[in-house]
Amino acid sequence: MTAIKLAINGAHGRMGSLACASLASEPDFDVVAKLGRMDDLGHALAQHRPEVVLELTNAHAVRSNAQAIVESGCRAVVGASGLRDPDLDELRRLVQAHGASMLVVPNFSLSAALMLRFSELAARYLPHAEIIELHHAQKLDSPSATALATADAIAAARGMPETEAQSQELSTLPNARGANRRGVRIHSVRLPGLLAHQEVLLSGPAEWLTVRSDVLDRTAYAQGIMLACRAVMNLRGLHVGLAQLL
């Protein structure tokens, strides 16, 4: 089997360092470039000619980096967090314009991907759901992209409309009931000592179900990174999340 030629952009950050260490021991990957902020991405891709670029910088850099990647003819796995719907719409237009392949992965945790799939299944039978997502204090975006994707999956599975009817609840403090995403409430917690956790509470008449994912160390993301880099070789267009790959 021919190894996949891979470039890692953002190789010197926490996720990039993890990716470099994890992929180095895998025989089906050949890491041909480890790039940082001082490197010219377009020039490096022309020089090393990877098949896949693992983009692990940040949401602010994704737009320009994604353009350089697709213009070079490479497939992209984008692991930057904090991308919102307008960002994804722009990436989708870029990918379509170049006939490219891109997999956007807000969360490389396999347990988080399974949690989303299990919640989607449960939502067909349990009509009420709320999400509690807990992350480290340095996380910049709230709610997390995983929480938003989970809410979207739940709403689609149970046939909820895009907007919810005006609630009769009375909140004594603003946003006491959390954010509302397509009728699914999301509560965000940011505290020192946490890493990445999400709990989905689903209920029906006289019963309830809890689905939870806990990432205790970033090494948990290694398997998801490898899954994404292998899968993008067989994808066309823009795809979001690991759940569809399971």
Catalytic residues: 135, 139
Sort residue 100 into left (φ over 0), alpha (ψ -120 to 50) or beta: beta
Cis peptide before 143 (omega within 30 of 0): yes
DSSP bridge partners of 210: 201
Closest C-alpha among 140, 154, 125 to residue 243: 154
d(CA 68, CA 78): 13
